[in-house]
């Protein structure tokens, strides 16, 4: 039993070290991108959503936060990296049975095309690092459509994480632009 606890502690300790490195790398990336502010736009925002598919059976809603830096690469077209945190809140009957919320960090490339100045379509594609018990990760995707102004945007999207199954939700979000 002691050996099992020691191995479990070592695995958790390694996960913690990996998470610290991931957060430091994301912070350095975002700070470096901020130095290029004249050629693009920094965005930070929040979102809420309703789980769909199998996720809807165990989760009541999802909420998260995102940050991105998008460069103008052509008229009306922007691309860049995005990072965030997404949490799926489990239903009370599963929480009472000892279950935990499911959460992950999406690390992705983002693209956005303005159809007209106020409306856009876009997509995020990348990898989602699972931070809740069990670890792992999978393919992360989020197609979206939205309304924008010079200092903010609101969007609707379908956010998912796939790896031998799928955890997905229909999301509404708002981003503030700097």
pLDDT of 128 = 96
Question: pLDDT tens-digit profile of 5-23?
Answer: 344 444 455 565 656 666 5
Please name which of 42, 44, 34, 49 lies closest in space to residue 66, comparing C-alpha atoms. Answer: 44
- Which residues form the domain of 173? 2-177
* Neighbour-count burial for 5-28, b at 16+ CB within 10 Å, e otherwise: eeeeeeeeeeeeeeeeeeeeebee
pTM across the whole model: 0.77
Distance CA 48, CA 106 (A): 15
In sequence order, which residues have a C-beta less than 8 Å from that of residue 38 and are 6 or more positions away? Answer: none
Q: Which among 88, 84, 43, 48 is positioned nearest to 66, based on CA atoms?
A: 84
Domain CATH for 47: 2.40.160.20
Q: Give me the number of domains the chain comprises.
A: 1
Per-residue pLDDT, 27: 58
Question: Which residues of the chain fall below pLDDT 50?
Answer: 1-11, 34-37
CA distance 62 to 47: 8
């Amino acid at each position: 039993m002691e050996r099992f606890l020691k191995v479990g502690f070592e695995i958790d300790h390694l996960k913690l070290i990996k998470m610290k490195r991931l957060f430091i790398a994301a912070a350095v990336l975002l700070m470096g991108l901020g130095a290029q502010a004249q050629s693009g736009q920094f965005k930070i925002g929040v979102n809420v959503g309703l789980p769909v598919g199998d996720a809807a059976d165990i989760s009541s809603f999802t909420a998260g936060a995102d940050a991105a830096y998008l460069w103008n690469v052509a008229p009306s077209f922007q691309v860049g990296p995005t990072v965030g945190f997404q949490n799926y809140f489990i239903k009370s009957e599963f929480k009472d049975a000892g279950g935990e919320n499911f959460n992950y960090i999406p690390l992705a490339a983002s693209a956005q095309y303005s159809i007209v100045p106020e409306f856009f379509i876009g997509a995020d594609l990348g990898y989602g690092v699972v931070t809740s018990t069990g670890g792992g990760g999978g393919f992360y995707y989020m197609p979206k459509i939205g309304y924008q102004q010079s200092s903010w945007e609101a969007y609707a999207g379908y956010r998912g994480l796939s790896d031998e199954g799928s955890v997905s939700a229909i999301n509404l979000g708002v981003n503030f632009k700097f």
